[in-house]
Amino acid sequence: MCPPTLRAWALAVAALTVLSGGCAVPQGRGSGRLQHIVEPTTRRGYWLYLPKDYVNSEESQRGARRWPLVVTFHGMKPFDNAHPQACEWQQEADRYGFIVVAPELRAFDVLGEFPLRGVNRLFKSDEEATLAILDHVLRTTRADPSNVLSTSWSSGGYMAHYMLNRHPDRFTCLAVRQSNFSASVLDPDRARRSQYHPILIINTQNDFAVCRRESRDAIHWYETHGYKNTFWVLIKDKGHERTPDLAAYFFGLVSGVQPSSAPQVLVQRQAIDGNEGGLAFLAGRLASFQAPPATRLAAGGPERDRAAAPSPRQVSPAPPVPGDQRLAGPPATARTSSGYVAASVPGDERVAGDGNERAAAGKPLAAVPVRNLRPNPVNIRVSSIIGLEPLALGFSAECPPAWQQSAKFFWTLDGEEIGQGVNGQKTLTGDGIHTLGLRVVTATGEEYHATRTVRVLPREVGVSAAAGENK
């Protein structure tokens, strides 16, 4: 139970939320499948949404493409819960091909601790249940374990920030929407493990004061702890309302998936403030995410960098918006592992190093014509993106089903050939970050390339870390 003054404050907030319509789900429903599932080990419920292309495809077709996974944490009950979270994401899930899971949380209701100041019993149980639910979804669907978004609305932000901080190997990026934040539940010593994960913090002009204040606290925390890919925007006019489209657009850039229809984010959302990278993101000019250093020189030769981080991806420009005049002229193109053909504009030089887009020598940033982008049909699926040494790694090619019989597949590990065929297995014995490469040559002679990084931890490090978790 919380103190009477806090309960009164929470009820007042709830009343304002109801009056403002902030808890309603204005987004329309999708054409996929929504179902309630109970995770068998924790007996915790969750809502799962499978996008329309997933539901309408055969099992063999599902295995030929990636299905990024959205884990969305709901706000304060009874004014929000897991079901509305799953509902608000349906249209965006259909647009991008996202699988969506919304765990049922116990820590956040009007009688719970708010603002959150520590990892209490209910909060810890929500963490354990979320990990079990995540494992269950990955076992029972074709969700891509190497592309997982931690996202939230309102007080669900406490859990979204926490899960990335404590489990960076399970989540690829973070996108919080009008969400709460508490530095007291985060471990600064673990920040290094997720410093290169893309972070998006969204707030609105007319949001509750506590959400605006704690969003500013979140921005300050990530900036002062050395995060390289932090983006934030303050959206004009909007209040405490649902904005999954912004998070979906961001996750689409991070995961490298192409939307089936042009998102309306760049038309409907206007920023009145933000950092340089956040404003570039909302304007459709986000060029890239800063990558972790792959290697560094040591006395005995090159030593692999030990910072745990997701594989960096080149970001393709956003689909054009009505009335948006893009730079003319055909750019040079090259296929990348992001699943897109990245285009370079002659004369447009980027300055790398801080994770946010900057124009060189005062030149304006130029958007790239989307008509020159074509999806890369080749990607790599791996059994694990991180594990203890020795790591038995299974890998397979994602490509059009017909190619599995007609194309040739060539695999490399850290530049050395390791085999041919649609799939294979390799035991990784050296700790560090390894690069798995794939070259596909079609029957007509076209070549496509993809890469995937895999993190191997020394066994003694993993054992000590596990012992620390159990203290």
Q: What is the CATH number of the domain that holds 35?
A: 3.40.50.1820
Reply yes or no on whether the pLDDT at 119 is more than 70. yes
In a domain, 372, yes or no: no
User: Whole domain around residue 395: which residue ranges?
Assistant: 379-469
Reply yes or no on whether the pLDDT at 173 is more than 90. yes
Q: Identify whether residues 82 and 217 lie together within a single domain.
A: yes
Q: Identify whether residues 269 and 397 lie together within a single domain.
A: no
In a domain, 356, yes or no: no
Q: Identify whether residues 402 and 262 lie together within a single domain.
A: no
Within 8 A by CB and 6+ apart from 121, the residues are none
Q: Identify whether residues 18 and 152 lie together within a single domain.
A: yes
Structure pTM? 0.62
Which letter does DSSP use for residue 192 in this model? G
In a domain, 445, yes or no: yes
Q: What is the CATH number of the domain that holds 459?
A: 2.60.40.10
* Per-residue confidence (pLDDT) for residue 375, from 0 to 100: 58
* Per-residue confidence (pLDDT) for residue 266, from 0 to 100: 65
Single-letter residue type at 389: E
Among candidate residues 253, 282, 311, the one where a domain is terminated: 282
Q: Identify whether residues 211 and 66 lie together within a single domain.
A: yes
Averaged pLDDT of the chain = 76
In a domain, 299, yes or no: no
Among candidate residues 233, 259, 282, the one where a domain is terminated: 282
pLDDT digits (tens, 9 = 90+) for 208-234: 899 999 999 999 999 999 999 999 999
Confidence of residue 312 (pLDDT cuts 50, 70, 90): very low
* Per-residue confidence (pLDDT) for residue 438, from 0 to 100: 94
pLDDT digits (tens, 9 = 90+) for 353-390: 333 333 333 333 333 333 333 457 888 888 767 777 88
Reply yes or no on whether the pLDDT at 187 is more than 50. yes
pLDDT digits (tens, 9 = 90+) for 397-445: 888 878 888 999 999 999 999 999 888 888 888 888 888 999 999 999 9
Q: Identify whether residues 129 and 270 lie together within a single domain.
A: yes
In a domain, 255, yes or no: yes
Among candidate residues 282, 315, 331, the one where a domain is terminated: 282
Q: Identify whether residues 233 and 97 lie together within a single domain.
A: yes
Lowest mean pLDDT, pick from 243-252, 320-329, 401-410:
320-329
Over residues 102-131, mean pLDDT? 87
Reply yes or no on whether the pLDDT at 13 is more than 70. no
In a domain, 295, yes or no: no
pLDDT digits (tens, 9 = 90+) for 27-61: 778 889 999 999 999 999 999 999 999 999 888 77
In a domain, 162, yes or no: yes
Q: For the chain, how many structural domains are there in total?
A: 2
In a domain, 346, yes or no: no
